[in-house]
Structure 1
Amino acid sequence: MPSITELNEFTADIPLLELDTPARGYDGVDIGPDNEQAQRLANRTKWLKQRVDNLLTAQVRSVNGKSGTVTLTVNDIGADPAGTADSLLTAHENDADPHPQYFNEARGDVRYVEVSLANTANGWLQLDASGKIPAAQLSTIASRYVVVADQAARLALASSANLTICAQADIDTLFYLNGGDNPAVAANWVQGQSATVSGVSSVFGRTGAVTAQAGDYSADQINETAERKFVTPAEKSAWSAKQDTLMSGSNIRSLFGLSLTGSGNLAPTPAQMGAAAAQHTHAVADISDFTQQTQALIVNSLEAGPGVTLGQSPVSGKTIISASGSGAGGGGGYIVVDRAGATAGQVHSFSFAPQSGFNLCAYALKSEQGQQNKSYTQDAFSAGSEASFNTTADIVFNAKMGLITQLNYVTAADGGLFSAEVLKKGKSLVLSTNADNSIVPKMTANNAPAGYTVSASSVYDSGSPAYSAFDRVATTAWVTLSGPTQWIQIKLPEAKKVNRFRITNRTVSQPFQNNPRTFALYGSNDGTNFTLLANGTSTSNVGDAQTTVTIPAPAAWLYYRLTVTAVFQSGSVTLGELELLGDPSTRFLLNSSDGKYYTVVSGALSEVAGAIDSTVIANQGVASVTLTEAMQQQLGDSYKVVTGESVEISGVLTPDDQIVLPLELTGASAWSTINSSTITASLSGAGAARVAVTRDLTDYVVFDGTTWVSIGALTADTAGAEKLIAQGMTAAAVPALTAAQWAQLWPAGVPDRLAFAYALHIADAAADKAEIASNVLNVNEVSAWKLQTPAEVEIRWYADSVSFKTTTAGDYKLAYQIPD
């Protein structure tokens, strides 16, 4: 029986064995639940013994070199003599200013101003409420303005106590002289700007503030306007003559042929005045209710015979005579009458030959306007919906339409070496070994993705499951139920070799950090027998810190288990991430479709001649390469990456422009209007999305801002994608189309059918993004006819008629049978 390995640490918790605790001892790797209590007690014993030993070996034998019975002095303990504190306090109390760092009145007078001294002599200036200097604090500045002919005249001016502004005419310049300065000294003058502004030196010979005076302008200097024009003497004479004629009254001589200038009374006849004679006739159009009265007379004089019904249109007022053929029951076929604009409570009656069977039927239909602004998902790109489209090879549907940019290859045995076939081509393709990427994909559950299974010795709660150590999410972590020893393991779909492993501490945003301090990685192919691969030690309990450990003798294992034997404090173990890594020295060659092997030197393919083995690959291969379009063409339609052992190769593809074409049209006859189309796209960098519309799956059109124009046919290949990228509408332009612009798509303005084509473009997969999540139409539906209930339309049968009473206003179709 092996001995317990004691750790020099005080373990806080001693677990109790419960009824359901499995009876299991040491298996060569894990001490088992049965030994957990003994292990922790042994750890405490060693910890306590260490401290007792330290006490026994570290007794006090002397003080400052004194032994025996020692009396300590103030010097021995570094203290001040007695009375020192009292003297310091007394000096502090007697000091006139013991606290110079604090503010007092004297210091305030030095640093700040007194309010009472505002705007006083030797005081300080206080601005008014508008932030300006009060006028009372400003002295008035007087000045004089003079104009002189030349410099001699300027220097000859008399002295003045005020500012002198002088305009010197010969050089058209202003000069300034401070009050009290001698004008005869040229140096006292300050030359300024031009004396005239915009070349104006005077107005009408006057200077200063010039106001227009009578006589300043002649009529020739005034421009006419639309409302004010000049009149020539001839025009004035002609108009005066016309006015005289108008005022004379001689030009109006008669009314209705009767002279106005003669004597006697003016007596025009009714005909002359436009009135009718006492006895007269009227045209039908002159009688306002003639039609209604006549129609009533006709209806009252008619009687419906067998198979005939009489009615009157409430709109046109015309009499309707309807005859029906034979039908089921006691009547013939239905007579359907349109009642557009029927009002609420209106009664519509229809007469027919008297009957007594009352075995006839009637019903009413009301027009219902279709739903307005209804959303219709035209395209949603869910996984599996690719069957509805004709697409190019690098389009992927997964709740959105995007580009295939991430590739992954695993080299498999191939004639003594290992290889993986590369079929994808694009604008560029970056291939690199996954040496620094974990061989475990992003886990979303303990058993997802399929083929991978995560398990652990314990978990604290449902919020810290075991798979959190493999989910590649920084904010999650695996947390155990108790302290070490604890383990976490993963089962792979197949045995894989791991060259290194890396642990990441719980994220720094989490307050409790108790990350692995000592740990070990084990491998197994049956889940029972484990082999120690490498031990590791971490020196940091700081959040997000990482520790990478190299495995001395890597081999392929189906299971990998990390066992944590010590942490940085008591309590549960926390672990942010566990990554199983490959060999950073892994290299690969490229094997073209014609059988040649290539490496890459200075960004170009370089052929590797001779026999190829793992040594050649290690010496001449590359760990990463960026293949341009030309390099991909040189390698051929199908080429391989070749390695000396099975490794994962990741690829980042920048594909050619991609296109998605519809395979069928969407019927739009149920819509009266398309109001808008909202395309939800996610674009970044140089990413672009383009759209076109078709009504026949052959000709595609785009809106150019004025009308719909054809761009012709589109094909599901690179040429078709590039054409749509160049000529299509942007994803932002489509939602901007109005209902009126959508109506132009159909000759009659009424939708019948349509479909959309899409294209995506990126220039660099590492920096660009182009995705379309959905295309949702906003439509108005067409109207329909709804069968009315008795509460909506009351139908009453009489021996010789049937009536319909419409409860609400609207457009109706009233159908009824009449007796044969």
Structure 2
Amino acid sequence: AVSKPGYNATSAVIFDGAMQVNTNQTLLLQADGENYSANVRSAGKKISVRSITDDYAVPVMTSNITSIGYIASASSVYHVNYEPFYAFDRTTSTNNGKDAWAASRAATAANPEWLQIALPNAISISRYQIVNRAISIGNNPVSWKLQGSNDGVMFYDIHTVSGDRNITLGAIRNFNISVAGKYSIYRLYITEVQNTSSWTNVGQLNLFDAGSNMVINSGGENYGFINGALVEIDGDLTAEKIKKYGNPIFEINLVENEISSMVSVVSDKQLNINVKLTPHSQIAIQKSLSSAAAWRQINSATLTATQTGNGKVRVAVTRDLVNWHVLRNGVWIDVGTLSADTAGAEALIADGMTPAELGGITAAQWAQLFSSNNGVPDSLAFAFALDITDPETDVATIDRLVLNVNDASSWKVQSPAEVEIRWR
């Protein structure tokens, strides 16, 4: 945060040991008349909202059928000591037997295996956990679908995972659900396991209740959901309307729904909520030039950055804070002015240099940037752009920028030095 005053930056850029995009909020709804609400960041493309709860959707099971209407079942059972209910007893054991559900063969795409729980009532879940078996002979799921149904015939895909090889003994694998649906039957439909052993097993399958319904308010109007579509709620916002039109998990495309003003999340109950924002492209521009008069030449620049998934980091340089430059095919190109807004960020994402391209600039090419000063550095500043499309999987982070330079002093032996920029 110490670095922030030195930059003109868009609203989702944060400086906390690195320069990155702020996508996450955790908030407690506060009393607001007869309801509870909280303002959420909405300057972006999309928001995903979920109520935070640790309430298990399934009680501790000691048999496949309970007196209150919960029924565990499976495609097959390896042995009586591996009945389906053992995956719902919330116990992790190193015993071989009564520690997991096990099917009678290894699941494949051609011959899947499934573990199922039927509930007395249809509910929404916000997240789930798969707990790996805690002993070395486990054959844990690698690829699967979590599915929901209300009749046991038609199943709908809720969440899909492919190639998750977190097979550490006893590991707890957590997964969020992005869109809520209410189902009375949930099943884990497994299509790949970690090895070719003649069984499939799940140590524990934990489902978590999605909690209470929420709606939004924007521009003085209340909005809820019908079949996933955003609809305006007429009249006063009552608990009955929140129950009817609300969801415990929802996702809103802010651009398609033309929501540009402040968004509030509203519920008739006080909830903890998590908000994921997919922001527009972000930019941070240094406010002032750094003097390079003490340098005889720039040898190289190293921008240490992380780009994961569809995350992008781009950079441009300037000598005057007006005209910004990138190196293309060995020639410095003027990409014009850059502004600290979405338009400037999108322009830099489109035209800027990648960290690798910046790192590939030679001393001779740096000298070309300063050709009007006989190739000798005078002043320099940087602009950085960050972009993500999915806050769950994408990362675009800058750790530091290091310039390797030669000192301009004429009375001592020349030696390379490093000039480092970090973000605090």
Q: TM-score under structure 1 normalisation?
A: 0.32
CA–CA separation in structure 2 for the residues paired with 1:385 and 1:769: 20
What is the match of residue 625 of structure 1? 250
What is the match of residue 25 of structure 2? 407
What is the match of residue 145 of structure 1? none
| 391 and 644 in structure 1: CA distance in 2 versus 1, 3 angstrom threshold | same
CA–CA separation in structure 1 for the residues paired with 2:26 and 2:240: 24
| 620 and 602 in structure 1: CA distance in 2 versus 1, 3 angstrom threshold | closer
Report matched runs for 1:335-354 at 5 Å: none
**Is 1:755 paired with 2:381?**
yes
**Is 1:608 paired with 2:233?**
yes
| 504 and 600 in structure 1: CA distance in 2 versus 1, 3 angstrom threshold | closer
Report matched runs for 1:83-162 at 5 Å: none
CA–CA separation in structure 2 for the residues paired with 1:395 and 1:654: 12
What is the match of residue 692 of structure 1? 316
What is the match of residue 398 of structure 2? 772
| Paired AA for residue 702 in structure 1 | V
| 426 and 774 in structure 1: CA distance in 2 versus 1, 3 angstrom threshold | same
What is the match of residue 585 of structure 1? 211
SS in 2 for 1:772: strand
SS in 1 for 2:210: coil
What is the match of residue 295 of structure 2? 671
CA–CA separation in structure 1 for the residues paired with 2:212 and 2:369: 59
SS in 1 for 2:335: strand
Deviation by residue 1:118-167 (Cα, 9 ceiling, x = unmatched):
xxxxxxxxxxxxxxxxxxxxxxxxxxxxxxxxxxxxxxxxxxxxxxxxxx
| Structure 2 unaligned blocks of 5 or more | 57-91, 93-127, 137-168, 174-205, 414-424
Deviation by residue 1:486-532 (Cα, 9 ceiling, x = unmatched):
xxxxxxxxxxxxxxxx999999489xxxxxxxxxxxxxxxxxxxxxx
CA–CA separation in structure 1 for the residues paired with 2:394 and 2:43: 18
**Is 1:395 paired with 2:5?**
no
The structural deviation recorded for 1:615 is 2.8
The structural deviation recorded for 1:425 is 2.2
Report matched runs for 1:236-385 at 5 Å: 383-385=1-3
Query: In the alignment, is the contact (CA less than 8 A) between 2:40 and 2:275 conserved in 1?
Result: no
| Paired AA for residue 611 in structure 1 | D
CA–CA separation in structure 1 for the residues paired with 2:131 and 2:343: 50
| 699 and 408 in structure 1: CA distance in 2 versus 1, 3 angstrom threshold | same
SS in 1 for 2:392: coil
Deviation by residue 1:560-601 (Cα, 9 ceiling, x = unmatched):
xxxxxxxxxxxxxxxxxxx9x9963310111121x2221122
Query: In the alignment, is the contact (CA less than 8 A) between 2:315 and 2:348 conserved in 1?
Result: yes
| Paired AA for residue 212 in structure 2 | T
The structural deviation recorded for 1:669 is 1.2
| 384 and 633 in structure 1: CA distance in 2 versus 1, 3 angstrom threshold | farther
**Is 1:426 paired with 2:44?**
yes
Identify, as 1 or 2, the structure richer in helix: 1
What is the match of residue 157 of structure 1? none
Query: In the alignment, is the contact (CA less than 8 A) between 1:691 and 1:758 conserved in 2?
Result: yes
SS in 2 for 1:767: coil
| Structure 1 unaligned blocks of 5 or more | 1-382, 439-473, 475-501, 511-541, 547-578, 787-808, 810-820
SS in 2 for 1:630: coil
CA–CA separation in structure 1 for the residues paired with 2:42 and 2:254: 11
Query: In the alignment, is the contact (CA less than 8 A) between 1:675 and 1:738 conserved in 2?
Result: yes
CA–CA separation in structure 1 for the residues paired with 2:401 and 2:172: 45
| Paired AA for residue 232 in structure 2 | E
The structural deviation recorded for 1:398 is 1.3
Query: In the alignment, is the contact (CA less than 8 A) between 1:433 and 1:649 conserved in 2?
Result: yes
CA–CA separation in structure 1 for the residues paired with 2:132 and 2:343: 50
CA–CA separation in structure 2 for the residues paired with 1:606 and 1:648: 24
CA RMSD in angstroms, aligned pairs only? 3.1
Query: In the alignment, is the contact (CA less than 8 A) between 1:411 and 1:648 conserved in 2?
Result: yes
| 688 and 702 in structure 1: CA distance in 2 versus 1, 3 angstrom threshold | same
The structural deviation recorded for 1:643 is 0.6
The structural deviation recorded for 1:724 is 0.7
| Paired AA for residue 320 in structure 2 | D
| Paired AA for residue 759 in structure 1 | A
In percent, how many aligned pairs have the same letter?
A: 39
| Paired AA for residue 234 in structure 2 | A
**Is 1:709 paired with 2:333?**
yes
| Paired AA for residue 336 in structure 2 | G
Query: In the alignment, is the contact (CA less than 8 A) between 1:423 and 1:637 conserved in 2?
Result: no
**Is 1:682 paired with 2:306?**
yes
Structure of greater Rg? 1
What is the match of residue 734 of structure 1? 358
| 604 and 425 in structure 1: CA distance in 2 versus 1, 3 angstrom threshold | farther
| Paired AA for residue 669 in structure 1 | A
What is the match of residue 453 of structure 1? none
SS in 2 for 1:664: coil
| Paired AA for residue 757 in structure 1 | A
CA–CA separation in structure 2 for the residues paired with 1:544 and 1:719: 44
| Paired AA for residue 302 in structure 2 | T
Higher relative contact order (Cα pairs below 8 Å, separated by 6+ residues): 2
What is the match of residue 652 of structure 1? 276
SS in 2 for 1:650: strand
Query: In the alignment, is the contact (CA less than 8 A) between 2:42 and 2:263 conserved in 1?
Result: no
Q: Return structure 1 stretches of 4+ with deviation > 3 angstroms.
A: 502-510, 542-546, 581-585
CA–CA separation in structure 1 for the residues paired with 2:365 and 2:262: 48
The structural deviation recorded for 1:545 is 8.4
| Paired AA for residue 432 in structure 1 | R
Identify, as 1 or 2, the structure richer in strand: 2
Give the count of matched residue pairs: 277
Query: In the alignment, is the contact (CA less than 8 A) between 1:435 and 1:586 conserved in 2?
Result: no
| 402 and 620 in structure 1: CA distance in 2 versus 1, 3 angstrom threshold | same
The structural deviation recorded for 1:629 is 2.6
Query: In the alignment, is the contact (CA less than 8 A) between 1:426 and 1:629 conserved in 2?
Result: yes
